[in-house]
Amino acid sequence: MSKENLQKLFQGFVEKNQLPKAIISIEKGNGQEVAQFEHGPMTDQTPFLLASVTKMWVTTLILQLIDQGKISYNNIVTDFIEKEKLSQLNHYMGKDQTQYITIKDLLFQRSGLANIFFEEPIYLRQKIAEADFSYTFDDMLDWVRQSDAHFLPSSDQAHYADINFMLLGEIIEKIHHLSLDDCIDRFIMEPLGLNRSYLVSSEYGMIPPLYTGKDYLYRPKIVASAQGAGGGVSTTADTMTFIRAFIQGDLFNKDHWQEMQDYYPLQGDYAPVEYGGGHMKLSLGQFNKEARLSFIGHSGISGAFAFYCPQLDVYLAGTTDNVGKSELCIQLIYLMLFELEKEELANQGGKYDG
């Protein structure tokens, strides 16, 4: 496999997009490294913000609890969090529908709850751009209540919203009687032997800044408040170890994948992403859907990513480290996978027509 072609593509990509730093690690399913490319002050041991890649940590903890018989996909949220606390969270067609939200709805982004990060009247993204501030789980609940839900819980559609994973994080804490960061340390990081990954629990912790495309934005209070929706910090090496364990079912019963691969497209802000159980799915190309390359895992608004392409049996992890253009990480993955597919077809004597 030609690392030289991949290297040229990577270097051209970071230069074209004027990225101060970026990294991508690519490994085969057998553990053999295909390539690793770095730009700027970045190695596979450099910490970066995971943002929504953190959601796969939360997913892992939920699946473990299901394996232990402590919860099920069909448990309703109010089995664990007081009904009064969640009252009117999903109000749709003039009625409170919150009592029908299940664990599965949260995990698969099918609760119908609003994505206040992009939606009025809260539009959290704009507030974060203007100032650093702390917010609580109760604040999130109050903000979500200010927007009508998009559909009934358990509908055959998906709407990405951070509140879903903040609710899951709250449920995990109540069942384990531990903080979410402790649960992540004990039940994910320690079994995998990872010591450079953690959930930010305090604004005074080690929190990398966010590059906006113009300068670096330091938002320690925001990151510490994000919790299971996006408060993780990791390295490329650790993220690669985790995504392999996640896909292979090393931390939970692999049979969950039969349930988790039920995908629905997300709202327009996230197109062309589909969402399954606690993870994203993207496909390459527009036609002949069954034959297209796909990759599953998660990306984050920070530019962090961790994915697996089953057709090529390759894992990809790293970051493009640009919150101003978070879509760049997906573009980089497309670029790498297209080249890998082209080389594989050439080795097989096939014709590449991508």
The CATH number of the domain holding residue 176 is 3.40.710.10
Each residue's pLDDT tens digit, 85-102: 999 999 999 999 999 999
DSSP SS3 for 232: strand
Question: Is residue 139 one of the residues assigned to a domain?
Answer: yes
- Domain range for 72: 3-347
Tokens 């996640």 sit on residue: 246
Report the mean per-residue pLDDT for the chain: 95
Structure tokens that stand for 259 in this block: 């349930």
The answer to whether the CB of 22 falls within 8 A of the CB of 40 is: yes
Beta strands, E only, 10-111: 22-28, 33-39, 48-51, 91-92, 95-96
Work out the average pLDDT over 122-151: 96
On whether residue 158 sits in a domain, the answer given is yes
Q: What amino acid occupies position 262? A: D
Is residue 354 one of the residues assigned to a domain?
A: no
Asked if residue 186 belongs to a domain, the reply is yes
Residues 6+ apart with CB under 8 A from 268: none
Instruction: Quickly state the pLDDT bin for 350 (edges 50, 70, 90).
Output: low
Residue 150: inside a domain = yes
Chain-centroid distance, C-alpha 170? 18
Q: Looking at the domain assignment, is residue 306 inside a domain?
A: yes
Tell me the C-alpha distance between 88 and 305, whole Å.
Answer: 34
210-244: pLDDT as tens digits: 999 889 999 999 999 999 999 999 999 999 999 99
pLDDT by residue (tens digit) across 283-294? 986 555 666 899
Number of structural domains the chain divides into: 1
Q: Give me the percent of the chain exceeding a pLDDT of 70.
A: 96
Q: Is 328 helix (H, G, I), strand (E, B) or coil?
A: helix
**pTM (predicted TM-score):** 0.96
% residues pLDDT > 90 (the chain): 90
Task: For residue 352, tell me if it sits in a domain.
Answer: no
pLDDT classification of 347: cutoffs 50, 70, 90:
confident
